[in-house]
Structure 1
Amino acid sequence: MDTDWKRVSVFLLFLKCVDCTGTATEWTYAGTVGQSEWAKIFPDCGGSSQSPINVDTSRTLHDPTLPPIQPLAYNKLGNKPFTLSNSGHTVHMTLPQWMGLSGLPWHYSAVQLHLHWGKGVGVATGSEHTINGRSSSAELHVVHYNAELYGNMSEAKTQGNGLAVLGVLIEACDEVNQAYNSILNYLGHIRYAGQKVSIPAFDVRSLLPDDLSEYFRYNGSLTTPPCYQSVLWTLFNERVKISHSQLMKLSSVLYSSKADTAEVSALQDNYRTTQPLNNRTVLSSFIHVSDQIYTAGEIAAIVIGCLCGCVGLTVIILFIVKTIRSTSSWDVLPSIRPAPQPRTKDVGKEVKEDMVLKTTSDPEKPEDPAPQTES
């Protein structure tokens, strides 16, 4: 009975997520159609090559042949404005197809960019990817499709090597990032899902990190339903910074519901949790050096220990040197050694004394006769 009820519940859930065209479109990050239920409705979301992931730098494979990423015509403004919209899941900006990427196995044309974030200032969560378990306040994705193999985004997104996405981790700080104001200043015009606004074209390259040579590369998926596993991911190592006020605007201005909805919901925490890596390999274009091997307390303890060790070693060396100097023959022997006696003046005296001793030692002994000469 319980099994049948579960089947009915899943079927009703599926019907709820299917529009009149037969395409599953409705989903959320939490609730009855939240990410814990995605795989039941969108089968690819339960695949073995899902995104995002946690990048464990100790397990990445350095590949020195990976070239720096080179954006193509990101700074070309053209004659038309960009279109910024609220999809109900994120803030979305369409990109012209003349923008693209080199430094990848194929030529990829730009499609769109969007953002993921948390609940605002004070909580360092909001990014989808993490590095060594550390998340950031937000994350930018720039989506491209393989223009060499496929005719458009719709065709490419379901195929292997169909998409390439740049991932940029974003942190909050005190300084305003003027490049991101090109988007954030217009959020008030798209507060509700379905709204759009035209904004002045700007240099999209300014949204990316300065260093595009250091990144992680792996094969994954879209991080939202239908979670097609067709994405070649490039996650930059360098993080971009925006101000706390900019982050607050991103996380507090938008709603995930439409304007005519009775109860509106804030558009927050629109990030997917990290997925198992399984047997995938994460490549690194650089040799990674850990940001912090020890905690501040451990570093302080090591420094104090080294100082104490140096002081103790110095005391021991001074004690040994003092002991050696106090017992050295170079200091003691000269004070007890008798002064040298001159011998040249006393030779005659010693001879006379010897003769006296010889003549007086045995007075009764007769003198030896004088030797006889042979004839």
Structure 2
Amino acid sequence: MLKTEKNFKSFGGKGGKRAKDPKQRGPKYWSQLDGGENCNGKSQSPIDIVPLETKQKSFDKWKFVGYDNEIAGDQTGAQVKSIVNNGRTVQVDLEGDYFISGGGLPNTFKAVQFHFHWGKDNTAGGEHTRNGKTYAAELHIVHYDYDTFDAINHAIRRPKGLAVLGVWIEVGKHNTAFDPIIDALQRIQYKGQEWLFETAFPLQDLLPSDVNQFYRYDGSLTTPGCFESVIWTMFDQPVQLSKRQLAELRKLRESSYTACQKLGKDSCPDDVFIEKNYRPVQPLNNRLVYRNIVKNLEL
């Protein structure tokens, strides 16, 4: 999710005003919103990645700069960062210097935020699929072309203006690398709540151990206005989170605490939990999807 246009405020396809008919909300209707014509484009994301139909290509090696710097709250010597529930997802804005280059990218790209997508249960939630297989969740680390643009708002509509690193998340063992994020979720149960990280962690710990194998294609934002400006990287190796860790994401609410209190109940009804913030797969439309054969990583 990116804060792109004021009239696009949620994964549900709601703009500044909710759709009059609640049944006409969601990705299916995004193209009907003002400025939503891109959502019917020919290079939309996410897609189903079929490994046997990809084209192998030898990309140059990755270079990650700043990914080993610790992200933390009010700890001396650490980057001050907070995590926020924006009513659509959980997001961490990155204000420090986190850069990627190589890996077939045309320029150096700067990371500005990361966020998650998930579903009502662990059978679906990730946006991209592989051979039709769905994943429980998906992590997106969003970057913009730092060599060409001075801010993400200037890059977001331009071809190849953005580069997103996508990480499939599957159910498995408890993942301690994600504990600082999962532990903070109980502090941001309602929309608009924000919390400083209490435990420092480097951004690189959120990536799979093998970043050398990945898929690459040109696509779009997976939220309105669906701008076709993204160089997508989906790492071949998923990361694992436990069932308990994934369940914490589904406790987040898309309504504010004040709005819930006005209902006169102890908690919000189930329909205001963030339980399906992913877009269905889109047609490939003859685009090429590459699979790299790079074997080196430089930090």
TM-score under structure 1 length normalisation: 0.67
Residues 35-75 of structure 1, C-alpha deviations (whole Å, 9 max, x = no match): 111011111111111100001112111002x1343321111
2:28 counterpart residue number: 36
Deviation at 1:92, TM superposition (A): 0.3
1:224 counterpart residue number: 223
Residues 107-136 of structure 1, C-alpha deviations (whole Å, 9 max, x = no match): 00010000011123xx32110001111111
C-alpha distance 58-80 of structure 1, shift in aligned 2 (>3 A): closer
Which one has the largest radius of gyration? 1
2:16 counterpart residue number: none
1:50 counterpart residue number: 44
Deviation at 1:188, TM superposition (A): 1.1
User: 3-state DSSP class of the match of 2:237?
Assistant: coil
Residues 181-208 of structure 1, C-alpha deviations (whole Å, 9 max, x = no match): 1101010111111111111441110110
Output the CA distance in 1 between the equivalents of 2:279 and 2:107.
Answer: 28
2:98 counterpart residue number: 99
Greater CA drift, 40-49 or 109-118: 40-49
1:145 counterpart residue number: 144
Aligned length: 261
Residues 286-317 of structure 1, C-alpha deviations (whole Å, 9 max, x = no match): 39xxxxxxxxxxxxxxxxxxxxxxxxxxxxxx
The equivalences for 1:116-265 within 5 A come to: 116-120=117-121, 123-173=122-172, 175-200=173-198, 201-251=200-250, 253-261=251-259, 262=263, 263-264=268-269, 265=272
1:317 counterpart residue number: none
Output the CA distance in 2 between the equivalents of 1:203 and 1:23.
Answer: 32
C-alpha distance 142-28 of structure 1, shift in aligned 2 (>3 A): closer
User: 3-state DSSP class of the match of 1:284?
Assistant: strand
C-alpha distance 249-95 of structure 1, shift in aligned 2 (>3 A): same
User: 3-state DSSP class of the match of 1:257?
Assistant: coil
User: 3-state DSSP class of the match of 1:67?
Assistant: coil
The equivalences for 1:330-345 within 5 A come to: none
C-alpha distance 25-102 of structure 1, shift in aligned 2 (>3 A): same
Deviation at 1:160, TM superposition (A): 1.1
8 Å contact from structure 1 (residues 101, 107) kept in 2: yes
Output the CA distance in 2 between the equivalents of 1:240 and 1:67.
Answer: 24
2:281 counterpart residue number: 274
Question: Structure 1: which 5+ runs fail to align?
Answer: 1-21, 288-375
User: 3-state DSSP class of the match of 1:276?
Assistant: coil
Question: Structure 2: which 5+ runs fail to align?
Answer: 14-22, 71-76, 295-299
Deviation at 1:220, TM superposition (A): 0.3
Output the CA distance in 2 between the equivalents of 1:28 and 1:156.
Answer: 21
2:18 counterpart residue number: none
AA aligned opposite 1:109:
K
Residues 230-284 of structure 1, C-alpha deviations (whole Å, 9 max, x = no match): 0000000001011111111122x20011112235511111110000000210011
AA aligned opposite 2:135:
S
8 Å contact from structure 1 (residues 67, 285) kept in 2: no
Q: 2:6 aligns with which of 23, 35, 38?
A: 23
1:300 counterpart residue number: none
Return the structure number with greater strand share.
Answer: 2
C-alpha distance 118-40 of structure 1, shift in aligned 2 (>3 A): same
User: 3-state DSSP class of the match of 1:165?
Assistant: strand
Greater CA drift, 195-204 or 210-219: 195-204
Root mean square deviation, CA, Å: 1.7
8 Å contact from structure 1 (residues 113, 143) kept in 2: yes
1:344 counterpart residue number: none
Q: 1:75 aligns with which of 68, 72, 96?
A: 68
C-alpha distance 246-23 of structure 1, shift in aligned 2 (>3 A): closer
User: 3-state DSSP class of the match of 1:269?
Assistant: coil
8 Å contact from structure 2 (residues 11, 223) kept in 1: no
AA aligned opposite 1:181:
D
Deviation at 1:161, TM superposition (A): 1.2
Q: Percent identity?
A: 37
Q: Which structure would you say has the larger RCO, counting Cα contacts within 8 Å and 6 or more residues apart?
A: 2
